[in-house]
Amino acid sequence: MRVPSLILHEAVLRLGRVGMAAVLVAVLALAVALAVVLPQWQRVRELRASEADASVQVKRLERGELKVQAKPEQQVLDDLRQQLPGQPQASELIERLYHLASAERISLARGEYALGVDPKTQLARYQIVLPVRGSYPQIRGFLKALLAQLPTVVLEDLELQRKRIGDRELNGRVRMTLYLSRS
């Protein structure tokens, strides 16, 4: 067992410091190649293979052999459009809104209405600002019924105030958006 260590010791002495430094640099270069370069090289090979697969699919698309699947987000948006009430039903929904307010004995003054189109989803949106007047439980009941019965309404802002501390009646403003399908 001592013979190999003696041979190794003589080889190290023959190499000297410069030779040992060269051997260490070579070992370090080999370690870097195995740890860093080899995985990157394999990743490049995988990317080239996926690029080849993608180009084959593009050619199949151009020839009409393959059809593009709808994006999942687009499918969700299409399903949402089908479930939303249509834009012609806006007056019925606003009438239901006033009916809910009268059921809670809340007075709704003349409101502001603006019809627009959401640029991202292309849904019709009816922005409604209504002045409200009633007690806190009445207004809360109205909003709860509104959100339960008109699920396409989004409550955006609610401002409530009293003229005096002892008043039971509140004056306020409700800002909401009613989303509708444009079909």
Amino acid at 109: A
Separation CA 130–CA 175 (nearest Å): 6
- Per-residue confidence (pLDDT) for residue 3, from 0 to 100: 66
- Per-residue confidence (pLDDT) for residue 166, from 0 to 100: 82
- Do the beta carbons of residue 161 and residue 131 sit within 8 Å? no
Amino acid at 17: R
Separation CA 142–CA 168 (nearest Å): 16
| Close Cβ partners of 15 (under 8 Å, ≥ 6 residues apart) | 22, 23
Whole-number Cα distances in Å, 136 to 128, 139, 145: 20, 5, 14
Residues for the chain: how many in total?
A: 183
- Per-residue confidence (pLDDT) for residue 51, from 0 to 100: 92
- Per-residue confidence (pLDDT) for residue 48, from 0 to 100: 93
- Per-residue confidence (pLDDT) for residue 71, from 0 to 100: 65
Amino acid at 9: H
What 8-state DSSP symbol labels residue 135? E
Mean pLDDT for back-to-back runs of 10 residues, the chain (183 residues): 73 83 90 88 92 88 77 71 76 84 83 83 84 89 89 89 86 88 74
